[in-house]
A = this chain, B = another copy of it.
Amino acid sequence: MVSAISDTVPHPFDPLSQDEIQSAIGIVKKAHGEVFFNVVSLHEPRKAEMTKWLENPAETPRPPRIADTVVIAPGGKVYDGLIDLAAGKITKWELLDGLQPIITMEELVLVEHICRKDPKVIEQCEISGIPKEDMHKVYCDPWTIGYDERHGNKIRLQQALMYYRPNVDDCQYQYPLDFCPIFDAEKQEIIAIDIPKVRRPVSKAPPINYHPAAIEKAGGYRNDLKPINITQPEGVSFKMKGRELEWQNWNFHIGFNYREGIVLNNITYNDKGTVRPIFYRLSLAEMVVPYGNPEHPHQRKHAFDLGEYGAGYMTNSLTLGCDCKGSIHYLDAQFPTRSGSIRTIKNAICIHEEDDGILFKHTDFRDESVIVTRARKLIVQQIFTAANYEYAIQQDGTIQPEIKLTGILNTYALNPDEDTQGVNAHNHQHLFCLRIDANVDGPNNTVFMADTVPSDAPVGSQENYYGNAFYAKRTKLDTTGKAATDYDGTTSRTWDICNTSKLHPYSKKPASYKLVSREVPRLLPKEGSLVWKRAGFARHSVHVTKYRDDQLWPAGRHVPQTSGEPSLGLPEWIGDGTESIEDTNVVLWHTFGVTHIPAPEDFPVMPVEPITLLLRPRNFFSNNPVMDVPPSYASTPSQVAANGAGVVNATDGMSKLAFTNGSSSSVGCCSTNGANGTNGTNGVNGY
């Protein structure tokens, strides 16, 4: 069941609608003439107002709808603005100095066009081995310049990573060019070209393509894959009310914005009738991809894909049956175009359920009495450029963000004597920052660090005679300085977001959500490096700050061309590290990811590499919250003794043996003696 999203009053967490975006654009154009719109997005409601409204939506004033805008006016002047939509007024209009807003699609497309016509670029292409009549075969991936101290940040610049395609359908990443034009966005011209000392002409190797014609030529596709069908003939188990989702006691609002992509708001769990808050807001707030090659200009390659390009702006329009399989619900996204009209991305977010194998099982060896219950999980997902973001929500209270990296690795030229086939993919890291605005059983939380450590007492001592003693050591992170901590694999380190006012009735420990994250490489660029300065969030695995409105993006609000001096975002907010964060409204920032040393298996396209972490309830529930998930089969000792009378048998009747004629073959569910129980309430369709 889904209710229409058209004429209803927007939920305060809803992204701006098409009408709202257009309204904001109109107001700005009227006041300031023709400007470029880099951002027109929801200015998130202030938490104090929003919390009141959430407690009593019927009677509390609804927080106003405010548009957050970033425009570039003629002369390259950048303005931050706020528009009160109901009042129809601009309430803030601030000229920025030395700050560059997020890159937009339109800006990216323009660079290639200009590059192909620029005489100096043409000259460099000729030096590389590409004749001037083939400039239509030259392509560029236009990145923000990152930060280059020779150019600074007053002028908006992009660096063009250059490639060549022998044929229009060839994979360009096998033909990188060794020079790098710098593009001035205001003048719309190439103002410089970085030329390396050692020249490397374009590769002459035949392309390794991945499109069907190439595969057919190389022997064809595999033809032995039989289809798998995933269907939900009775519909899905989740309900949507606008953008609010309800599933298996969970309730949360699905937000979306131009830079973070998916935002999960006000995540709560209905615990036997009591709605218990868990997180006020959960999102991937920034990321950085530093490359490990020290040669100029590769140090500029450390894209902040969220702050510089936008997980929302770059998100794919997902397709039923390709990107998403099963019974799928989609949410669209609307963004402004630079010139002030609307760009809609249909099916930007997909939501679906999946069977997740066994949830729990227990068998008694004495009599084979057994309970086996299958798990279901809910996935909220988007795909943007080179990453597939999934938030998997589990019945046992676990939230599992997962990122699957895929796509094409950035490449650079090599000379034939220098390794690989004229192409080199540089080592790099993918570091993501998960922002957890905590609300564990209430707004005042404290973060602890938990390490499993052996007892200090030596083997043979009275306290530890056999030497096996170990325990969980907990360290309270009570100031922002103390909370800047790193992952330690030897102690299986985890972090607990606790509500010390809510002690578990039996364990007496505080209700908590535990961050279990094992893919936590340290930042390899050194302290004091350009990346370390610009990506302060990546210096540690965990930072914790006291909540303040608008402290959302840990590398700063405007990321392109920041110098890192000072380091914007998290380092500013933490300052000298003395602020108390004990028993208060806290935000935990977790940086995780992978270090990638490329290999041939990553070419021409990288098969998905998953990175995952868990947020798990510990001492939150009175006991396992999934005991009331219907089992596939359950028999008690007394039922086994009574030859199976009364067992619950909800076997999935659609499951089949692989090599029979296809008839359902049930060998007496879950018992070796072949006893059959009565059918569960779901008849043939088990879980």
Contacts and interface: CB of A to CB of B under 8 A. Distances in A.
Contacts of A96: none
Contacts of A527: 459, 467
A291 B235 CA distance: 46
Contacts of A636: 168-169, 211, 213
Interface stretch (A278-286, A476-484, A617-625): A617-625
A457 to B, nearest CB: 8
Given A355-B230, A600-B506, A321 B666 contact: yes
A683 to B, nearest CB: 10
A146 to B, nearest CB: 10
A223 B629 CA distance: 8
Given A468-B299, A667-B319, A328 B656 contact: yes
A602 B624 contact: yes
Most chain B beta-carbon contacts within 10 A, residue among A362, A522, A625: A362
A184 to B, nearest CB: 21
Given A321-B666, A325-B655, A347-B667, A227 B686 contact: yes
B323 A168 contact: no
B630 A222 contact: yes
A524 interface: yes
A372 to B, nearest CB: 5
A226 interface: yes
B659 A362 contact: no
A195 interface: no
A231 B232 contact: no
A215 to B, nearest CB: 5
A329 interface: yes
A292 B268 CA distance: 35
A93 interface: no
A339 interface: no
Q: How many copies of the polypeptide does the oligomer hold?
A: 2
Interface string A623-658: 111111111111011100000000010011111111
A84 to B, nearest CB: 33
B372 A687 contact: no
A606 B359 CA distance: 9
A321 B657 contact: no
Contact of A219 (B230, B594, B625, B628): B628
B597 A624 contact: no
Interface stretch (A44-52, A104-112, A120-128): A104-112
Interface string A215-242: 1001111111111111111111110100
Contact of A633 (B240, B322, B526): B322
Interface string A409-432: 000000000011100000100000
A358 interface: yes
A655 B321 CA distance: 5
Interface stretch (A19-27, A259-267, A513-521, A583-591): A513-521
B406 A360 contact: yes
B601 A406 contact: no
B637 A168 contact: yes
Contact of A507 (B219, B294, B419, B655): B419
Interface stretch (A8-16, A30-38, A448-456, A572-580): A448-456
A262 B529 CA distance: 49
Given A453-B524, A685-B229, A669 B458 contact: no
A520 B508 CA distance: 29
Contacts of A337: none
Interface in A324-366: 324-330, 345-347, 351-355, 357-363, 365-366
A494 to B, nearest CB: 9
A114 interface: no
B492 A221 contact: no
A383 interface: yes
B468 A231 contact: no
Contacts of A685: 227, 229
A513 B651 CA distance: 39
Contacts of A443: none
B608 A375 contact: yes
A504 interface: yes
A518 B518 contact: yes
Contacts of A314: 365
A687 B324 CA distance: 11
A227 B687 contact: yes
Contact of A227 (B233, B631, B664): B233
